[in-house]
């Protein structure tokens, strides 16, 4: 893991932000190589970020953009995936959320960061039109 993911003077990196989602990586979510498919992981990140954005917007939100992502390590079947979210910016109708993904393998106790990404959500009304965040 690169040094850019270490927190200050800590010997080991730790998750930052609010735990928004935990799930188990299952065999049905694998790519042809037997690792968890990156698209599945990105969808979990989107769900986690949308939970936080909907809390802030006090209602329905939709994803309008994502930032670049780098997958640092493959995710094995059976790992517990944890998505931690930090709100980076709140606009008139939008919420920008940084989502960090960590995994834990209970058999070995191994825990590490898998990826991170920025997701932008816009508050919408019942007809799907942009609305102001209260």
In degrees and rounded to multiples of 5, residue 45 shows phi and psi of -65, -40
* 8 pLDDT higher than 80: no
Domains and CATH numbers, the chain: 19-123 (3.10.129.10)
The pTM assigned to this predicted structure is 0.88
Name the strands in the sheet holding 94-105, side by side, starting at the edge strand that comes first in the sequence: 18-24, 80-90, 94-105, 110-123, 61-66
Instruction: Encode pLDDT of 72-117 as tens digits.
Output: 999 999 999 999 999 999 999 999 999 999 998 888 888 999 999 9
Instruction: Encode pLDDT of 43-55 as tens digits.
Output: 999 999 999 999 9
């Amino acid at each position: 893991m690169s040094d850019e993911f270490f927190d200050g003077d800590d010997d080991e990196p730790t998750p930052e932000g609010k735990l928004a989602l935990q799930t188990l990586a299952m065999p049905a979510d694998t790519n042809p190589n037997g690792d968890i498919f990156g698209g599945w992981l990105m969808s979990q990140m989107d769900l986690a970020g949308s939970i936080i954005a909907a809390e802030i917007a006090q209602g329905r939100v939709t994803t309008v953009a994502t930032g670049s992502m780098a997958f640092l390590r493959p995710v094995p079947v059976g790992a517990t995936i944890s998505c931690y979210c930090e709100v980076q910016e709140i606009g008139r109708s939008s919420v920008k959320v940084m989502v960090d993904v960590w995994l834990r393998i209970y058999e070995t106790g191994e825990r590490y960061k898998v990826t991170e990404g920025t997701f932008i959500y816009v508050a919408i009304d019942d007809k799907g039109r942009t609305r102001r965040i209260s």
